[in-house]
C-alpha cells in the first residue's frame, strides 16, 4: 500500500520530470556548448515551488523536506547535471541553511525572495589558499560597534556570476561566523567567470569583499557559530548533491541499454555480446548500490540526524560510480560516444566534478574512516 508520503514524492517526481524533459532536456546541449545558464528557467523552478522546497510555507517555501529536494535534484541531474548543481547550490547550500540557522528577521527578509527565484544564492566558502582545508580561510570580519567590516575573497563559487545573495563564511577572531551578504552591498565585487571542463552552464566565479560594512543582524546564527554551521551544512550538502550523480548515472545507463539493443554488429545486437553484458551488469549494480546508499543517508538527514559517515560515504561511492558508468557508456557507444552530438562525452565530463566538489574523494575517505573508528571505539559495533 502506497503511503501519503510516497504518493506525494511520486507526484513531485512526475512534475519535475515533465518540466525537465520538456524545458531543460531540449536545451541541455546549448547549456554545455555555450556555457549558458538559463536564468529564466531557473526562476521558473521558484514558481513551481522547488527552490524553497525544504522551507515552510510561511517563508515562501513548500515545506516538503529533504526527500523531495533529493527527487528534484535527481530529475534535473538526469537532463542537465550542471543545472542541477546550480539548483542544489541555491536551494540546499543557501536557502536551507538560512532557514535552519537564520534569525526570524533574516528568514522573513530573504527567504521569500530566494524561494521565488527573485534572488539567486551562492555559498561562499572556498578561497584561493583554502579548498579542502576550509577552516584555513583568510577572509575575516571584525566588529565595529553595531556592525562588522568584512574583507577577503572567495573563489570557485557556484552561481557567483549571478548571485544576488551570498552566504559568506569568515574568521572572527579565533572563531568563524557566517554572514548574509548582498551583491549590492558597497565593497562587494565579482571577478572572472571560470570556463570549466564540465558542469558548463553552472556559472562559477570569484567574489571580493573590500571593507564591506554589514549590520550585526546579518549574522547567520550567532557570532562564532560558523564552524558548526559549516560542518552540519556539509553533511546535508553531500547527501543532496549525490543525487545529481544518481540522475546522471541513470541517464548514462539508459542510453547504453538503448544503444546496445539497437546497434548491430556481426548480425546481432551488441547487447548480446558477452563483454557488453558484463559492462551493463556492472553499471546497473553500481547504479542501484549508489541509489540505496544515498537513500539510506537521506533518511538520516530527513530525521535530523546529520550522520557524517553515511553522508560522506554516499557521495564518495556515488561520484566514483557515476564516473565509472559514464566512462563505460562512452565505451559502449564507441566512436559515436566520443562525438559531442551524442551527449555521452558530456556525461563523463560532468561526472568528474563529483569527486572534487563538496569535498574531494580523498577528504571523503578520511571522513568515513575517521568517524567510523570513533563510532566503533565508542559502540563496539558498526553503524546500522
Q: Which residues are known catalytic residues?
A: 237
Cβ burial 79-106 (10 Å sphere, 16+ → b, else e):
bbbbbbbbbbbbbbbbbbbbbbbbbeeb
Q: How far apart are CA 384 and CA 367, in angstroms?
A: 17
CA atoms within 13 A on the CB side of 226: 27
Q: Is 260 left (phi over 0), alpha (psi -120 to 50) or beta?
A: alpha
Instruction: Kindly give, in sequence order, each residue whose CB lies less than 8 Å from that of residue 49, ignoring residues fewer than 6 positions away.
Output: 61, 62
Q: How far apart are CA 244 and CA 165, in angstroms?
A: 23
Strands 165-172 vs 121-124: parallel, antiparallel or unpaired: parallel
Report the alpha-carbon angle 44-300-126, nearest 5. 60
For the CA atoms of 115, 88, 30, 329, the dihedral, rounded to the nearest 10 degrees, stands at -150
Mapped onto helix, strand or coil, the DSSP state of residue 113 is helix
Looking at beta carbons, which pairs linking 294-302 to residues 24 or more positions away fall under 8 Å?
A: 294/70, 294/239, 294/242, 294/243, 294/246, 294/318, 297/238, 297/239, 297/242, 298/66, 298/67, 298/70, 298/239, 300/239, 301/66, 301/235, 301/236, 301/239, 302/65, 302/66, 302/67
Amino acid at each position: 500500500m502506497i503511503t501519503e508520503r510516497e504518493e506525494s514524492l511520486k507526484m513531485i517526481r512526475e512534475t519535475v520530470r515533465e518540466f525537465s524533459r520538456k524545458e531543460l532536456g531540449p536545451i541541455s546541449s546549448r547549456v554545455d556548448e555555450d556555457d549558458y545558464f538559463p536564468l529564466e528557467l531557473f526562476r521558473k523552478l521558484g514558481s513551481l515551488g522547488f527552490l524553497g522546497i525544504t522551507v515552510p510555507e510561511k517563508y515562501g517555501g513548500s515545506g516538503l523536506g529533504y526527500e523531495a529536494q533529493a527527487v528534484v535534484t535527481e530529475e534535473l541531474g538526469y537532463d542537465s547535471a550542471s543545472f542541477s548543481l546550480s539548483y542544489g547550490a541555491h536551494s540546499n547550500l543557501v536557502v536551507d541553511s538560512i532557514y535552519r540557522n537564520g534569525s526570524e528577521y533574516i528568514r522573513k527578509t530573504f527567504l521569500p525572495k530566494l524561494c521565488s527565484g527573485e534572488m539567486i544564492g551562492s555559498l561562499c566558502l572556498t578561497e584561493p589558499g583554502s579548498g579542502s582545508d576550509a577552516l584555513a580561510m583568510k577572509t575575516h570580519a571584525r566588529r565595529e560597534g553595531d556592525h562588522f567590516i568584512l574583507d577577503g575573497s572567495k573563489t570557485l563559487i557556484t552561481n557567483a556570476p549571478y548571485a544576488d545573495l551570498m552566504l559568506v563564511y569568515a574568521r572572527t577572531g579565533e572563531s568563524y561566523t557566517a554572514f548574509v551578504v548582498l551583491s549590492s552591498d558597497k565593497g562587494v565585487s565579482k571577478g572572472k567567470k571560470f570556463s570549466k571542463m564540465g558542469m558548463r552552464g553552472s556559472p562559477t566565479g570569484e567574489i571580493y569583499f573590500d571593507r564591506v560594512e554589514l549590520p550585526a543582524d546579518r549574522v547567520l546564527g550567532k557570532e562564532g557559530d560558523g564552524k558548526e554551521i559549516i560542518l552540519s551544512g556539509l553533511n546535508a550538502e553531500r547527501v543532496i548533491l549525490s543525487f545529481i550523480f544518481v540522475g546522471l548515472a541513470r541517464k548514462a545507463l539508459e542510453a547504453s541499454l538503448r544503444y546496445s539493443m539497437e546497434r548491430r554488429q556481426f548480425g546481432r545486437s551488441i547487447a548480446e555480446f558477452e563483454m557488453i553484458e558484463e559492462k551493463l551488469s556492472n553499471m546497473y549494480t553500481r547504479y542501484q548500490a549508489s541509489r540505496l546508499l544515498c537513500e539510506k543517508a537521506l533518511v538520516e538527514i530527513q530525521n535530523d540526524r546529520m550522520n557524517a559517515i553515511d553522508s560522506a560515504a554516499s557521495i564518495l561511492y556515488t561520484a566514483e560510480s557515476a564516473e565509472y558508468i559514464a566512462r563505460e557508456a562512452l565505451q559502449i557507444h564507441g566512436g559515436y560516444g566520443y562525438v559531442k552530438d551524442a551527449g555521452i562525452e558530456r556525461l563523463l565530463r560532468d561526472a568528474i566534478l563529483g569527486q572534487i566538489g563538496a569535498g574531494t574523494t580523498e577528504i571523503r575517505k578520511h571522513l568515513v574512516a575517521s568517524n567510523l573508528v570513533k563510532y566503533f571505539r565508542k559502540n563496539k559495533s558498526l553503524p546500522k
